[in-house]
Chain A
Amino acid sequence: MPGTGTEDLLRQLAPQVLGAVVRRYGHFGTAEDAVQEALLAAATQWPEQGIPASPRGWLITVASRRLTDLLRSEQARRQRESTVASWALPDQWLAPAADDPPTGADDTLILLFMCCHPALSAASQIALTLRAVGGLTTAEIARAFLVPEPAMTRRISRAKQAIAASGIPFTLPKPPDRAERLSAVLHVLYLIFTEGYAATSGPSLQRGELTAEAIRLARIAHGLLPDDSEVTGLLALMLLTDARRPARTGPHGELIPMAEQDRGRWNAACIAEGVALITGALPHGPTGPYQLQAAIAALHGEALSADATDWPQILALYELLMQISDNPVVALNHAVAVAMVHGPAAGLALLGELAGDERLAGGHRLPTVRAHLLEMAGDQAAARESYLAAARRAGSIPQQRYLNTRAARLADSQST
């Protein structure tokens, strides 16, 4: 997905052009198709004919013409089927507008809010965000998520229908809803990132394009809302996590745990940027989950060796995170931090409490952590069993290989 100059320019303009067309003519769903066609036309014409004097204006003009054509076909189809496209005016339109008049820069933000509308499923929110704000084609999104293209096409078109049916106007959410809607947007960007970072299925562990796209979108959100410390925290978290990517897999794609990674291969510039962002954001509060996770990632990133890691500080941050987050993965990481500070037995005791959590049941995460802590405690036979149990449940091939290798290593050391 990172590409030529034209491609980068088009991806950057995509949400601005869509915002301008929807603001002018409405029809979010059809306008989105029209903009994609305009982007495609530009991608083929500009490299040959040169970039027009006003690329944004060119795209808006072409997309508007295409929208007219698409609406004409819809109209013809409707008349054949004698259906009428009518919709009740949403209540919010009847109330006097209290907001300041919107600016062009708000359009991208409005689109983010629209694409992450609560009426949509998480999968639809992600797909629509990547298309409408990210400017990716359906084929690219389908490839990134290892989904057949027709299925992704249906998912996106259902998402657009849901948005049309919800009747939401093209405007920023009202202040009372704003925080909740923003948290949905951040969650979607986070999911895009984690999907790229730890692919939930398939042969390749990291799909770097998705992480790069998530970071690009988070940068846009941070640019639009520079004073929101959770947006800053999310961007910092992504940068600090992605910084470890070069060291996270070996030459054959095998997974390397953080303690064994060559820290010289971590991306120092990304760490520096992430640390600077989170250091700047933390004093401004309120301190939300993304800032806490970024602060934890920053402590890892700044440790020159695994032994030099400030585990007491990390444990303190996980304890704060536990207070505001009911995420079982956070609880697992908290147990690891407890083990690093107070010894593996204390960590294993916490894992016992998590065994009943349905959200972890059947997954590989709990047995993986248990295996590591058992290994730390010196119980090699139990650790081996737990690694094998985790391997059976892991979805991605590199994860399975990593866990089986750990189990085999323990078997070898037992027999010698």
Chain B
Amino acid sequence: MKYMLLMFGSQQDYDALTGSPAPGKPAWSPQEAAAMGAFMGSFSQDLAESGELVDARGLTAPVHARRLRLESGVPVVTDGPYPETEEVLAGYWIIECDSFDRATEIASRLADCPGPEYVRGVAKVDVRPIAESRDELEL
């Protein structure tokens, strides 16, 4: 069974992580950023070694996003569509494991991820079962 672990962050979170403070979000120190990077690396490495990792990706800063929508039937592109405080998908893992509980157990290890207290205080990760087929979606 496949599950997706989703992490979220706003542009301001990205700013703070890369050293630019935002209101209420002091900049991470280089040591803090490096510690988080190392933790994420070993988290994914452990999953690869246990054979449960399918894919892991981080997304670039939300400011790079483009949104397409239809305006009177014509596709219109908006560059940088997110307000800087809006939390959007920042990265994900796709894992393959035996159960939802096992996926949750894996996700819970992310609680050990180091970071500034204000980040750890509100950190979250979502676990979503991935549909195995269109039937499962009842389409």
Contacts and interface: CB of A to CB of B under 8 A. Distances in A.
Interface string B66-97: 10100100111111100110000000000000
Nearest to A67: B64
B15 interface: yes
B40 interface: no
A333 B75 CA distance: 54
Interface stretch (A72-80, A96-104, A312-320, A383-391): A72-80
B64 A87 contact: no
Contact of A89 (B60, B76, B79): B76
A26 B66 contact: yes
Given A75-B11, A75-B84, A79-B84, A85 B64 contact: no
A74 B11 CA distance: 13
Given A72-B11, A76-B84, A79-B84, A88 B76 contact: yes
> In terms of DSSP, what is the predominant structure of the interface of chain B?
mixed
Nearest to B83: A79
A87 B18 CA distance: 29
Interface string A64-95: 01001101101110110000111111000010
B77 A86 contact: yes
B63 A75 contact: yes
Nearest to A72: B63
B54 interface: no
B78 A85 contact: yes
Contact of A68 (B63, B66, B76, B79): B63
A46 interface: no
A27 interface: yes
Interface string B41-74: 0000000000000000000110110101001001
A68 B61 contact: yes
A281 B75 CA distance: 46
A266 B61 CA distance: 56
A408 B77 CA distance: 67
A88 B75 CA distance: 6
Contacts of B64: 25, 68, 71
Contacts of B78: 84-86
A321 B61 CA distance: 55
Residue from B11, B74, B77, B83 with most neighbouring chain A CB atoms (10 Å): B77
Given A79-B84, A89-B68, A72 B15 contact: yes
A27 B80 CA distance: 11
21 contacts: A25-B64, A26-B66, A27-B79, A65-B18, A68-B61, A68-B63, A68-B64, A71-B64, A72-B11, A72-B63, A78-B80, A79-B84, A84-B78, A85-B78, A86-B77, A86-B79, A87-B76, A87-B77, A88-B74, A88-B77, A89-B76
Interface of B: 11, 15, 18, 20, 60-61, 63-64, 66, 68, 71, 74-80, 83-84
Given A26-B66, A72-B63, 8 more contacts: A27-B79, A68-B63, A84-B78, A86-B77, A87-B79, A89-B75, A89-B76, A94-B75
